């Protein structure tokens, strides 16, 4: 149990996907202007990360390793992730229009998001167990939401502040992210 | 109907070609990759036994030679740390004391538990008999890392249990 | 035609103009060697993916084009990964998980979709080289700054200089990466190189 908690916290805070590992940046800078959007995106990403982690773990342990075709890992993982996201999108669109409007539109963006393949790769390379993969992906997702939420709050403020013209938009967002990333260093001192 | 078939055939063909290409590339590169792993392992052994010139063995128990004379053993120890598996290479002198250890794999907290890889921690194991390999708080001679007792214990336990297990295997041979 | 090549370096510079492919840029730009290694890998994948996809552009049905592109790109990324593991293990360790992540680098899929799938092979190849070079140059610029300020010296393939000032480790850290890119983006905008 302690190990799982450690994994969760490791990927939520110590190795925060956005602020420390730079995974999932595109949605981070594109979507993070409003808190509502940010949270929807975050939840969608977390859900996909979790499912992708489980599915890729199963494939890795029941297909790749037994048949000794680990080198097909990249091709198989990304195909699986892309297909899965496609299926989810279709499913949501057919079953719940409101949910689709809230989350669905972010899904295509998520397919090529480094965060999803990133967590699948981490699980595979570090050799986590199935439960370990669940813990790490949940942690990564929560960390993602956290960074996104804080960032959107800051950007809402930035929109109405006086920023030098050439720094408006992306540049100042990066500088803000820099400060945020700096503050997360504090988590390196966690001793559970 | 024809349209759907075309899509399936094209996609499947591309995947099939991919498999063929990659398995060929894999066959070409695999021996080289294995060699790299061996080189890395030898570097690890060398860091514990600087004067070693050769080694033999398998399944986690290796005999280390220096100019055809055996100078000690290297044992693979596996254990569970705070963040995941820990793998430690334990060098053992002829007199069964520890020559040194090298942490091969760990996923402890960076900046804290991960400090078990630092020299001041691993150097503590050198020259001690296995009986001393315990944390000071458990009547041993190893100082734990402040604030990372679990990782420190995990490292110590891994070394201790790995040693015991492999020495027993050696004696049974 | 030459424009297809030069566009990629400044006008459509992937990192500073399109803001694509950021993940690896920030992560590995801690040393110039890494930048060159990652740049070369991306150029390889871009080149051959664009080539293949352009060759097959009339064969691949529109509806399944994205999965097909992805498999083709993933195949070349795997080739790079295996080659690195076998012949350049040190670089492979430095680049880490960012090697397989090349497959989701928006630059590659983006170019495949926007250019290679609609243009003849010669133009697609030039586009790939241009964009790849633009990417690599941007990575190198960022790395020079981070390595210089963060470690007090710069080195390429083992030859280096150490400068006599106290480095600020900050620049090697993730926060430093964000700052350098933010400042560069602002600078380039100010100077009018990008909009």
pLDDT of C8 over the 70 cut: no
Report d(CA B113, CA B144) in Å as an integer.
10
Q: Which of A2-6, B107-111, C106-110 shows the lowest mean pLDDT across its residues?
A: B107-111
Asked if residues C161 and C51 have their Cβ atoms less than 8 Å apart, the reply is no
- Select from A181, A182, A176, A183 the least CA-distant residue to A159: A176
Give the total number of structural domains in chain B. 2
Higher pLDDT: C11 or C143? It is C143
* A189 occurs within a structural domain: no
Residue B76 and residue B32 share a domain: no
Choosing from B48, B64, B79, the residue where a domain stops is: B48
Report d(CA B107, CA B127) in Å as an integer.
27
**For residue C102, how far is the Cα from the chain centroid?**
9
Q: Which positions ≥6 away from B133 have C-beta within 8 Å?
A: B98, B125, B140, B141, B142, B156, B159, B160, B163
Residue B159 and residue B111 share a domain: yes
Residue B16 and residue B61 share a domain: no
A129: left (phi over 0), alpha (psi -120 to 50) or beta: beta
* A30 occurs within a structural domain: no
| Residue B71 pLDDT grade (very low, low, confident, very high; cuts 50, 70, 90) | confident
By residue range, what is the domain housing residue A108? 1-9+38-161
Of B7, B32, B40, the CB nearest to C86: B32
Instruction: For residue range A62-115, list pLDDT tens digits in order.
Output: 988 888 888 899 999 998 888 888 888 888 778 877 777 766 666 766 777 788
Residue B42 and residue B88 share a domain: no
Report d(CA A157, CA A178) in Å as an integer.
16
Altogether, the residues listed in chain B come to a count of 173
By residue range, what is the domain housing residue B38? 1-48
Return the pLDDT at A10. Answer: 81
Q: B31 — contact with chain A (CB < 8 Å)?
A: no
Best mutation target, B7, B82, B150, to test chain A (most A CBs within 10 A): B82
Higher pLDDT: A121 or B172? It is A121
Give the total number of structural domains in chain A. 1
Return the pLDDT at C185. Answer: 81
Q: Going residue by residue through chain A (192 aa), what tens digit of pLDDT does each one get? A: 677 887 888 888 878 888 888 888 777 766 667 777 778 888 888 988 999 999 999 999 898 888 888 889 999 999 888 888 888 888 877 887 777 776 666 676 677 778 899 999 989 988 888 888 999 999 999 999 988 888 888 887 877 887 777 777 778 888 888 888 888 877 765 544
Return the pLDDT at A189. Answer: 58
pLDDT of C74 over the 90 cut: yes
Kindly determine whether residue B29 and residue C85, on different chains, have CB atoms separated by under 8 Å: yes
| Residue C190 pLDDT grade (very low, low, confident, very high; cuts 50, 70, 90) | confident
Q: What is the largest CA-CA distance in chain A?
A: 60
Residues in C touching B6 (Cβ below 8 Å): 61
């Amino acid at each position: 149990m302690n190990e799982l908690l450690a994994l969760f916290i490791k990927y939520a805070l110590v190795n925060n996907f956005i602020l420390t590992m730079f995974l999932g940046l595109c949605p981070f800078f594109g979507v993070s202007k409003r808190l509502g959007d940010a949270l929807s995106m975050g939840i969608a990403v977390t859900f996909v990360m979790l499912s992708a982690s489980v599915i890729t773990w199963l494939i890795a342990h029941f297909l790749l390793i037994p048949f000794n075709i680990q080198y097909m890992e990249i091709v198989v993982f990304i195909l699986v992730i892309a297909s899965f996201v496609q299926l989810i999108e279709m499913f949501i669109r057919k079953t719940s229009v409101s949910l689709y409007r809230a989350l669905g539109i972010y899904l295509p963006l998520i397919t090529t998001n480094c965060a999803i393949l990133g967590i699948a790769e981490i699980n595979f390379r570090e050799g986590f167990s199935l439960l370990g993969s669940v813990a790490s992906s949940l942690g990564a997702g929560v960390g993602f939401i956290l960074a996104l939420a804080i960032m959107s709050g800051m950007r809402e403020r930035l929109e109405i502040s006086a920023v030098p013209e050439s720094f408006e938009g992306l540049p100042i967002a990066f500088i803000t992210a820099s400060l945020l990333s700096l503050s997360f260093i504090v988590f390196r001192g966690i001793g559970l | 109907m024809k349209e759907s078939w075309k899509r399936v055939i094209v996609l499947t063909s591309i995947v099939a070609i991919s498999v063929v290409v990659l398995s060929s590339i894999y066959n070409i590169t695999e021996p080289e990759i294995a060699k790299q792993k061996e080189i890395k392992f030898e570097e690890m052994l060398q860091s514990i036994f600087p004067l070693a010139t050769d080694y033999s063995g398998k399944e986690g128990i290796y005999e280390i030679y220096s100019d055809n004379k055996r100078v000690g053993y290297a044992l693979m120890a596996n254990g569970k740390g705070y963040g995941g598996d820990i793998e430690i290479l334990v060098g053992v002198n002829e007199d069964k004391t520890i020559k040194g250890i090298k942490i091969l794999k760990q996923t402890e907290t960076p900046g804290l538990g991960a400090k078990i890889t630092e020299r001041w921690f691993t150097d503590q194991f050198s020259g001690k008999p296995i009986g001393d390999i315990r944390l000071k708080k458990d009547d041993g001679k190893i100082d734990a890392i402040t604030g990372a007792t679990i990782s420190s214990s995990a490292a110590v336990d891994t070394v201790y249990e790995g040693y015991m297990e492999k020495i027993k295997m050696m004696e049974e041979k | 035609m030459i424009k297809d090549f030069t566009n990629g370096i400044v006008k459509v510079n992937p990192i500073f103009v399109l803001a694509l492919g950021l993940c690896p840029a920030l992560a590995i730009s801690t040393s110039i060697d890494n930048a060159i290694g990652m740049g070369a890998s991306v150029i390889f994948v871009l080149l051959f993916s664009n080539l293949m996809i352009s060759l097959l552009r009339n064969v691949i049905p529109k509806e399944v084009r994205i999965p097909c592109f992805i498999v083709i790109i993933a195949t070349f990324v795997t080739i790079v990964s295996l080659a690195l593991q076998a012949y350049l293990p040190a670089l492979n360790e430095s680049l880490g998980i960012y090697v397989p992540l090349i497959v989701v680098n928006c630059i590659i899929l983006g170019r495949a979709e926007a250019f290679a799938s609609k243009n003849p092979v010669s133009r697609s190849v030039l586009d790939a080289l241009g964009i790849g070079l633009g990417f690599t140059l941007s990575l190198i610029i960022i790395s020079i700054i981070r390595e210089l300020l963060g470690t007090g010296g710069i080195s390429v393939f083992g030859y280096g200089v150490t400068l006599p000032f106290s480095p600020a480790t900050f620049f090697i850290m993730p926060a430093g990466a964000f700052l350098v890119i933010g400042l560069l983006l602002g600078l380039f905008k100010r100077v009018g190189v990008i909009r």
